[in-house]
């Protein structure tokens, strides 16, 4: 159990009220900070300055955007399915909030960080967001948005399996599904112990949250804006919120699973600061990937998920399992020196497998 220091955490209703409000405030605030951070980071990457007019360093830019979008006209197409069109952003945003129910924020505190199925719950809930996106694409009555909705399912289907397998390798070593248990088990951060698992998790997470090189569902050069063409005003803002909220959730989960969550050198009261620092570091990796790599072609996207990530994720699971069984201590876990085995193994596997498989030639044969 987490160390409980305050009377308020012992009370069921006070706990719910405190962390319910804290999680909602955290998500809204961090999404604004993330939008600002991403736009500021994009500036130097693209040899420009980024937002710098609204207050020093443009820090109030997301606030201005939020007020503007709240006051915009709400346009619903005449052919749209009105109810589904209204519900879709709500369904899309809901899982983002729900993921944070099991994330340990500060020294093991959170709404439910000790829940015994923690990471399985995260996997189940985070896949729900795609339903909202598909509902939006279908309900708009627009051909492009329907294509975007179809693509997001194809992409989710392809990258869900590597994501879940890379999480299994964490569970293998930690020996528990509880988020607090996984943090407690990490004496050495797991991105050092299983570099292959971390890389696969990061790539699959990028694809799951439809960012970076994997944003095919809103490829503006192909299908206008994808599923949210027909959305404006607050409903569009909710999709924006859900997108960045999902990026925040994936960063928080990666920080918890692979970087030791709130653990870090120094005073234990620095927990939340270490957690935020790790979240920002992982989000910076996501930004870096987004700004560096061009968007993938759809057949390359599917081939990469199925032919490259899935076999490597499976291999990673068996490598980690064998290491836990043959080298691990009496109560599971792996010794720290497997770093020297796993890094060369990861490099060798990535190199060899990238030699072995190939995409389906230079162009796609479109046959009806």
Partner 1 sequence: MLADYGLLALFIIVAILFATMLPLVALALRLAGIGAKRKPNPHKDTTYECGVQPVGKAWVQFNFRYYFYALVFVVLDVLTIFLYPWATDVKGLAEFGLAAVAVFVAIVCTAYVYAWRKGLLEWK
- Smallest gap from Cβ 254 to partner 1, in A, equals 18
CB-CB contact of 111 with 252 (8 Å): no
Chain mean position to CA 217: 16
Distance CA 164, CA 86 (A): 31
Token pair for 138: 């279908």
- Smallest gap from Cβ 367 to partner 1, in A, equals 7
Q: Which residues contact 335 (CB under 8 A, 6 or more apart)?
A: 327, 328, 329
- Smallest gap from Cβ 146 to partner 1, in A, equals 5
For CA atoms 74, 219, 132, 280, the dihedral sign is negative
What is the gyration radius of the CA atoms in the chain, in angstroms? Answer: 21
- Smallest gap from Cβ 291 to partner 1, in A, equals 26
Residue 62, classed as helix, strand or coil, is helix
For 35, 65, 233, 277, 286, the CA distances from 51, given in Å and listed in that order, are: 11, 12, 21, 22, 20
Distance CA 162, CA 203 (A): 9
Distance CA 345, CA 297 (A): 29
Distance CA 244, CA 264 (A): 26
- Smallest gap from Cβ 6 to partner 1, in A, equals 17
- Smallest gap from Cβ 337 to partner 1, in A, equals 18
Question: Which residue's structure tokens are 């007019």?
Answer: 53
**Minimum CB distance to partner 1 smaller for 12 or for 340:** 12
Residue 128, classed as helix, strand or coil, is coil
- Smallest gap from Cβ 57 to partner 1, in A, equals 27
Distance CA 55, CA 39 (A): 15
Return the closest-CA partner of residue 274 out of 186, 364, 162. 186
**Minimum CB distance to partner 1 smaller for 231 or for 283:** 231
**Minimum CB distance to partner 1 smaller for 87 or for 199:** 87
CB-CB contact of 338 with 193 (8 Å): yes
**Minimum CB distance to partner 1 smaller for 71 or for 352:** 71
Distance CA 59, CA 53 (A): 9
Token pair for 80: 């749209």
């Amino acid at each position: 159990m987490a160390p409980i220091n305050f009377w308020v955490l012992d009370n069921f209703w006070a706990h719910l009220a405190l962390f319910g409000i804290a999680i909602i405030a955290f998500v809204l605030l961090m999404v604004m900070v993330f939008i600002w951070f991403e736009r500021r980071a994009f500036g130097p990457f693209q040899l420009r300055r980024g937002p710098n007019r609204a207050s020093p360093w443009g820090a109030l830019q997301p606030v201005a955007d939020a007020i503007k979008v709240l006051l915009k006209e709400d346009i619903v197409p005449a052919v749209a399915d009105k109810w589904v069109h209204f519900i879709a952003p709500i369904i899309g945003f809901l899982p983002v909030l729900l993921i944070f129910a099991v994330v340990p924020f500060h020294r093991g505190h959170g709404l439910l960080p000790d829940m015994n199925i923690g990471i399985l719950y995260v996997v189940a809930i985070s896949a729900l967001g795609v339903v909202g996106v598909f509902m939006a694409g279908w309900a708009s009555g627009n051909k492009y948005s329907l294509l975007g909705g179809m693509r997001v399912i194809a992409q989710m289907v392809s990258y869900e399996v590597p994501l879940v397998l890379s999480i299994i390798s964490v569970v293998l070593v930690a020996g528990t599904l509880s988020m607090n248990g996984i943090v407690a088990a990490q004496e050495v951060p797991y991105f050092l112990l299983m570099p292959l698992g971390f890389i696969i998790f990061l790539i699959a997470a990028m694809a799951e949250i439809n960012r970076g090189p994997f944003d095919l569902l809103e490829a503006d050069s192909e299908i206008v804006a994808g599923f949210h063409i027909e959305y404006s005003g607050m409903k569009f803002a909710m999709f924006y919120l859900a997108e960045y909220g999902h990026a925040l959730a994936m960063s928080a989960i990666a920080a918890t699973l692979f970087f030791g969550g709130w653990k870090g050198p120094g005073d234990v009261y620095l927990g939340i600061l270490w957690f935020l620092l790790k979240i920002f570091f992982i989000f910076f990796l996501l930004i870096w990937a987004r700004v560096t790599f061009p968007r993938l072609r759809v057949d390359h996207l599917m081939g990469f998920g199925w032919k490259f990530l899935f076999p490597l994720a499976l291999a990673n699971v068996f490598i980690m399992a064998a290491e836990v069984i043959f080298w691990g201590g009496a109560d599971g876990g792996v010794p720290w020196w497997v770093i020297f085995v796993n890094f060369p193994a990861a490099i060798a596997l990535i190199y060899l497998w990238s030699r072995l498989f190939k995409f389906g030639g230079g162009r796609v044969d479109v046959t009806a």
